[in-house]
Amino acid sequence: MTNRLQRRKFIKDTSLLAAGAGIFLSAPNIAGAAPNKTWTVGEIIDLFLKEVNGAPFATTVDTLKSGSRDMQVKGIVTTMFATIPVIRRAIELGANFIIAHEPTFYNHLDNTDWLKKDEVYQYKSKLLTDNNITVWRNHDYIHSHHPDGVYAGLLQQLGWNNYVAANAPWNVALPQTKLSALISDLKQKLNIPMVRYIGDDDQPCKKVLLMVGAAGGQRQIGLIGESHPDVAIVGELQEWETAEYIRDARASGKKISLIVLGHTASEDAGSEYMVGWLNKNVTGVKAMHLHSGQPFQFK
């Protein structure tokens, strides 16, 4: 494929956000860098785990989803989700190691027994195998890293580093702002077209509970109940759990608002953080972050 055609294809592909496409346009082949040391998948994983207290964990979802520890790494892609477009892009770039924050096969443990006859699973699985791509999930470890790489990346992106305590980055004390202004700020800084929210636009917000990803209703509600924030900002939630709790909390007289960012918007900065870590520590192998984008369209 000529460069021009490649470019056209990249630009047409709206499933990846513009910033990700931009990186590709300026870096035609990340395997092209001359390595001064070769790395296996296992060596890179073990190097990261050295920085995580208590690692390796006896029980973790951070396993290989395809490929092997012994594979020699030609190039690395970090991403929120190893989507089929991300895998295809990695192949085009000559990268054979994908570090994804979230599952590859649609459930927390990446159990695939129930998917064996599913055509989408078969397609994705074959794409990975045929192209010798190793996928490693880095979820539990990056959250247990000091600092938590996801919060570190997100706070950096939001410019909120001065508003949190290091040991509890989910408790944010912002200069007072109105809910509507906070929402506009989040949308702009996280490059998201819309958020779902519950609350009064004019409500003053100072105390923020920032819960990235999908912590689950009981953890979200538990922390909200303990910390009494003006606003809880979450990645995603079950509509019938946390959202209904917030409605009842407001009806019972509490002044609390809720903002739902979307799972990827709340954690994508962690994959940026991981690329920074790789570029610093895994010399000789090119690494880049690809936005897997988010699955929804909005009308």
Written as one letter, the residue type at 60 is T
Contact between residue 224 and residue 232 where contact means Cβ atoms under 8 Å apart:
yes
User: Rounded to 5 degrees, what angle do the CA atoms 248, 251, 253 make?
Assistant: 115
Least Å distance between CB 295 and Zn ion?
17
Nearer residue to Zn ion within complex by CB, 62 or 230: 62
Nearer to Zn ion, 30 or 164 (CB): 164
CB of 108 to Zn ion, least distance (A): 11
What distance in Å separates the CA atoms of residue 219 and residue 235, rounded to the nearest whole number?
A: 13
What phi, psi does 20 have (nearest 5°)? -65, -45
Residue 196, SS3? Answer: strand
Q: Which of 30, 234 has the CB closer to Zn ion?
A: 234
293 binds Zn ion (CB under 5 A): no
Rounded CA gap, 64 and 66, in Å? 6
169 lies in the binding site for Zn ion (CB under 5 A): no
40/254 Cα distance (integer angstroms): 53
Closer Cβ to Zn ion, 139 or 286, answer by number: 139
Distances (CA, A) of 68 to 5, 45, 88, 102, 265: 33, 11, 19, 18, 30
Per CB under 5 A, the segment of 10-18, 51-59, 165-173, 265-273 that binds Zn ion is: 265-273
In the complex, the smallest distance separating the C-beta of residue 90 from Zn ion, rounded to whole angstroms, is 21
Q: Candidates 74-82, 207-215, 236-244, 283-291: pick the segment binding Zn ion (CB under 5 A).
A: 207-215
Q: How far is CA 125 from its chain centroid?
A: 21
Kindly state the smallest distance separating residue 84's Cβ from Zn ion, in Å. Answer: 21
Q: Which residue number places its CB atom closest to Zn ion?
A: 213
Q: Where are the alpha helices (DSSP H) in 134-262?
A: 140-144, 149-158, 179-190, 217-227, 244-251
Contact assessment for residue 233 and residue 209, using Cβ atoms and an 8 Å cutoff: yes
Of 148 and 230, nearer to Zn ion (C-beta) is 148
- Stretch of 59-67, 76-84, 173-181, 208-216 contacting Zn ion, by CB under 5 A: 208-216
Site string (235-264) toward Zn ion, x via CB under 5 A: ------------------------------
Query: From the CB of 9, what's the least distance to Zn ion, in Å?
Result: 31
Tokens of 177: 């702002």
The backbone torsions φ and ψ at residue 193, rounded to the nearest 5 degrees and listed phi first, read -75, -30
- Closest CB 78 distance from Zn ion, rounded Å: 13
Question: What dihedral do alpha carbons 150, 154, 156, 162 form, nearest 10°?
Answer: -100
User: Which DSSP letter does residue 161 get?
Assistant: G
Write down the least CB distance from residue 241 to Zn ion, Å: 18
Q: Which is nearer to Zn ion, 62 or 267 (CB)?
A: 267
Residues binding Zn ion: number (CB under 5 A): 2
Nearer to Zn ion, 213 or 229 (CB): 213
How far apart are CB 29 and Zn ion at their closest, in Å? 30
For position 213 contacting Zn ion by CB under 5 A, the verdict is: yes
Residue placing its CB nearer to Zn ion in the complex, 102 or 230 = 102
What torsion, rounded to 10 degrees, do the Cα atoms 76, 267, 150, 209 define? 180
Binding site for Zn ion (CB under 5 A): 213, 267
